[in-house]
């Protein structure tokens, strides 16, 4: 499952005054006003810029706007929640416990009693079994690529079996959003079902929906109802993260997760009592080369791209120093996965890159400079378009800088900024040559590499991982072996051939770390996670380990109005 981050806008204080004028067009004045008073009952939350939104809360459609905005995870819940700021910590949720058997091929969940759907009906083990059977039989909603062999129930317990051991894959297994059989059993194709009136077990229900934003309100049927202190959550629509950042600076947002340069100077220092941020270590940003199209299907071209990149500059300028260059050739995220990294610690890439080294790699592979000044081979030019959403302004800046670096290395590279929806569609169906994307975080590095390399995630035109369209049976077998490793020591050993493959073949090209963006204004609400109290990361995506398993729900249950 793809974790959706929000890559926010570069915005100066001079721009805030101009941008703030237009913000009211996106958010209800009445709601904004009520949310910004002491003891307010409405929290304003922003996680992803959207050009347009539709009333579809289908938790299996990762491109649906409400999911990216952080709302879906407040309605649909998983069996377990995970604290990715302090792995392997987890919280029992719709399951009170789990146990492995069969050498890691079988997992049994004890389903929590007394849970109701927001329509008042009881949630049962039959609903859980129905959900996993639905995932089993519909590849398009199997966002974690789960190879489920069977699903069975016994009283309040649900047992899943797999053809191979799954110890390292707990996050994807237990993070599936649980659905009501009575509703989804009549929904038809679960991939295309428009879930306009979602029925979930979560703390919030849909209250109002408009093209300018929507409001979720407290679910009176919620099984932890006493913990819900925030009555309403409002999700305004911002067409760019620059506007969203301006809204944060001008006091119109309580909680966001954006890339914002100058946070200390332009945000925290303006109101140090209430303005805070914490960017927890996350995963890895990478360039995804399409392995099915020229020229990124050529290893020498991928090597040249990697050799040409000045990762230090991309981190310091493109990401404003809020993310670090990834200099391990395997792409493993440090320090997040430091416990697994020792055997490959010496496998590094240049921090600054080298245009001459990139040119040499192409020349050694038989590429020559054409009349236009760029490399070619067999009459085909080495021309590449690098895509990312223009609204993710850090990605856009990284892409623009990188395109210049590739041009200097003789690669005819251009950067193209797309709308978020167009970029999502291109990633899903493979309509690109080179794309910027983040990677999965998780309890172990398995989640990182599985999402990068598992060919089961790139079926047809609805890829949820393996965006580069790698199809390597031997590597799939290596991932399967890693999934069955029960200890850090064994996982570290089983990772080595996978890491070496990435370093040598560059099916993805690691660039920088991918922070868990998290900024908040505590004037109205208290109880936020911090580096000192990392009960969650604070990234308000709602899709942190798998669909429905998001940080925002856990965080909201810790929040209460400031008295």
pLDDT tens digits, one per residue of 436-477: 999 988 888 998 999 999 999 997 788 889 999 999 999 999
pLDDT reported for residue 37: 39
Residues 6+ apart with CB under 8 A from 103: 165, 484
pTM equals 0.79
Q: What percent of the chain has pLDDT over 90?
A: 71
- Judge whether residue 229 has pLDDT over 50: yes
pLDDT of amino acid 25: 34
Task: Work out the pLDDT band at 84, boundaries 50, 70, 90.
Answer: confident
pLDDT bracket for residue 264 (50, 70, 90): confident
Q: Taking residues 94-116, report their average pLDDT.
A: 97
pLDDT at 544 over 80: no
User: Is the predicted pLDDT of residue 22 greater than 70, yes or no?
Assistant: no
pLDDT, mean of residues 49-74: 87
Average predicted confidence (pLDDT) for the chain: 89
Taking residues 160-184, report their average pLDDT: 94
**CA geometry: angle 526, 532, 533, nearest 5 deg:** 55
C-alpha closest to that of 78 among 63, 60, 61: 60
Is 472 exposed, middle or buried, given 0-12, 13-18 or 19+ CB atoms closer than 10 A? Answer: middle
Confidence of residue 522 (pLDDT cuts 50, 70, 90): very high
Dist CA 80 CA 77 (whole Å): 8
Highest mean pLDDT of the ranges 4-13, 237-246, 394-403 = 394-403
Residue 108 CA: distances (Å) to CA of 77, 81, 128, 172: 18, 16, 12, 15
| Residues 192-228: tens digit of each pLDDT | 999 999 999 999 999 999 999 999 999 999 999 999 9
Please state, for a pLDDT cut of 70, what percent of the chain lies above it: 91
Give 265 or 220, the one with higher predicted confidence: 220
Predicted pLDDT of residue 251: 92
Q: Which residue has the higher pLDDT, 556 or 282?
A: 556
Residue owning tokens 């120093």: 321
Q: Could you read off the pLDDT of 484-506 as tens digits, one per residue?
A: 999 999 999 999 999 999 999 99
Of 165-174, 215-224, 235-244, the range with the lowest mean pLDDT is 235-244
Q: What band does 268 get if pLDDT is binned at 50, 70 and 90?
A: very high
List the one residue out of 142, 246, 206, 254 whose CA is nearest residue 547.
142
Contact of 75 with 207, CB cutoff 8 Å: no
- Mean pLDDT within 285-302: 98
For 31-36, what is the mean pLDDT? 37
Higher pLDDT, 142 or 98: 98
- Is the model more confident about 338 or about 546? 338
pLDDT-based confidence at residue 51 (cuts at 50, 70, 90): confident
| 24 band by pLDDT with thresholds 50, 70 and 90 | very low
Buried b (16+ CB within 10 A) or exposed e, 159-184: bbbbebbbbbbbbbbbbbbbbbbebb
pLDDT of 536 strictly over 70: yes
- Residue-wise pLDDT tens digits, 350-378: 999 999 999 999 999 999 999 999 999 99
Q: Which one-letter DSSP state was computed for residue 108?
A: E
pLDDT tens column, 309-321? 999 999 999 998 8
Q: What contacts 186, CB < 8 A, 6 or more positions away?
A: none
Lowest mean pLDDT among 47-51, 293-297, 415-419: 47-51
Instruction: Identify the residue whose tokens are 């409400």.
Output: 66
CA dist 431 → 127, 294, 350 (Å):
37, 12, 30
């Amino acid at each position: 499952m793809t974790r959706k981050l929000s890559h926010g806008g570069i915005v100066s204080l001079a721009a805030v005054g101009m941008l703030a004028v237009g913000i009211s067009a996106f958010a209800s004045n009445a709601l904004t006003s009520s949310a910004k008073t002491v003891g307010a009952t409405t929290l304003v939350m922003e996680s992803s810029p959207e050009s347009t939104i539709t009333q579809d809360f289908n938790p299996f459609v990762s491109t649906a706007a409400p999911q990216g905005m952080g709302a879906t995870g407040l309605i649909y819940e998983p069996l377990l929640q995970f604290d990715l700021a302090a792995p392997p910590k987890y919280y029992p949720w719709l399951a009170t416990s789990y146990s492995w058997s069969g050498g890691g091929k079988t997992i049994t969940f004890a389903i929590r009693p007394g849970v109701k759907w927001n329509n008042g009906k009881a949630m049962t083990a039959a609903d859980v079994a129905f959900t996993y059977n639905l995932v089993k039989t519909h590849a398009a909603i199997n966002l974690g690529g789960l190879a489920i062999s069977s699903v069975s129930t016994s009283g309040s317990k649900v047992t899943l079996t797999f053809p191979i051991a799954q110890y390292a894959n707990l996050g994807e297994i237990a993070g599936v959003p649980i659905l009501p059989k009575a509703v989804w059993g009549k929904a038809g194709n679960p991939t295309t079902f428009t879930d306009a009136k979602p029925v979930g077990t979560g703390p919030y229900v849909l209250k109002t929906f408009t093209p300018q934003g929507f409001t979720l309100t407290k679910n009176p049927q919620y099984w932890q109802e006493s913990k819900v202190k925030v009555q309403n959550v409002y999700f305004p629509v911002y067409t760019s993260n620059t506007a969203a950042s301006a809204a944060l600076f001008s006091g119109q947002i309580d909680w966001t997760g954006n890339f914002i340069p100058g946070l200390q100077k332009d945000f925290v220092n303006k109101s140090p009592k209430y303005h805070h941020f914490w960017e927890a270590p996350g995963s890895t940003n990478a360039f995804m080369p399409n392995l099915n199209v020229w020229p990124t299907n050529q290893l020498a071209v991928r090597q040249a791209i990697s050799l040409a990149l000045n990762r230090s500059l991309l981190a310091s300028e493109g990401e404003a120093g809020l993310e670090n260059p990834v200099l391990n050739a395997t792409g493993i995220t440090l320090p997040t996965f430091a416990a697994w990294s020792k055997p490959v610690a010496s496998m590094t890439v240049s921090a600054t890159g080298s245009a001459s080294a990139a040119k040499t790699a192409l020349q050694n592979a038989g590429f020559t400079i054409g009349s236009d000044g760029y490399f070619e081979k067999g009459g085909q030019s080495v021309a590449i378009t690098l895509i990312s959403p223009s609204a993710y302004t850090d990605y856009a800046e990284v892409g623009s800088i990188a395109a210049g670096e590739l041009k200097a290395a003789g690669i005819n590279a251009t950067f193209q900024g797309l709308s978020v929806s167009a970029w999502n569609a291109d990633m899903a169906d493979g309509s690109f040559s080179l794309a910027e994307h983040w990677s999965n975080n998780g309890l172990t590095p398995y989640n990182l590499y599985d999402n990068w390399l598992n060919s089961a995630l790139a079926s047809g035109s609805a890829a949820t991982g393996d965006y580069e369209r790698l199809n390597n049976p031997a590597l799939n077998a290596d991932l399967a072996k890693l999934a069955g490793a029960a200890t850090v020591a064994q996982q570290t050993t089983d990772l080595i051939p996978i890491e070496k493959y990435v370093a040598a073949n560059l099916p993805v090209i690691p660039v920088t770390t991918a922070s868990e963006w998290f900024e908040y204004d505590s004037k109205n609400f208290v109880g936020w996670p911090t580096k000192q109290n990392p009960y969650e990361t604070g990234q308000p995506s709602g899709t942190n380990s798998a669909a429905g398993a998001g940080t925002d729900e856990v965080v909201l249950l810790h929040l209460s109005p400031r008295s």
